[in-house]
Amino acid sequence: MDVILTPQEDDALKTVSLISYILHLIVAVSAVVPGAQMGPVLLLVALIVDMVKRQDARGTWHESHFRYRIRSVLWAAGLYLITVPLWFLFVLPGWLAWLAISLWFLYRIVWGMMRLNKQQAIDF
């Protein structure tokens, strides 16, 4: 059942989502740009915000965005951890894996931001 939000509640959730997406975007861009690592702290802040505020979005179109961002971070973290041995064994494959994961994460964040801007839920 869809929860009906007041305009103020809807705006508040959209603002939280936008801030979270911006934090994710900073992390994603800095992961792709060599030497611009902003990552773990900002990502942790964004993840905590998403986990705390997700409850407020239950039953609304915003809920899918919170779930999407949390899953994106968890998948990226898992993929980064899996590819860590490549850095020790072979530098180039490790760098290429890092780049591929970072570009995938960047794509997901930009796509999510576009859906948020259109006030559309994440379909999957």
Residue numbers of the domain that contains 75? 7-117
Q: How far apart are CA 50 and CA 34, in angstroms?
A: 27
| Torsion angle, alpha carbons of 113, 117, 121, 124, to 10 | -30
pTM of structure: 0.89
In a domain, 32, yes or no: yes
Residue 55, token pair as written in the block: 């409850």
Say how many C-beta atoms besides its own lie within 10 A of residue 17's C-beta.
22
Q: How far apart are CA 30 and CA 112, in angstroms?
A: 18
In a domain, 124, yes or no: no
Residue numbers in the chain where pLDDT is lower than 70: 1, 35-38
In a domain, 27, yes or no: yes
2-31 residue pLDDT tens: 788 889 999 999 999 999 999 999 988 888
In a domain, 77, yes or no: yes
Domain count, the chain: 1
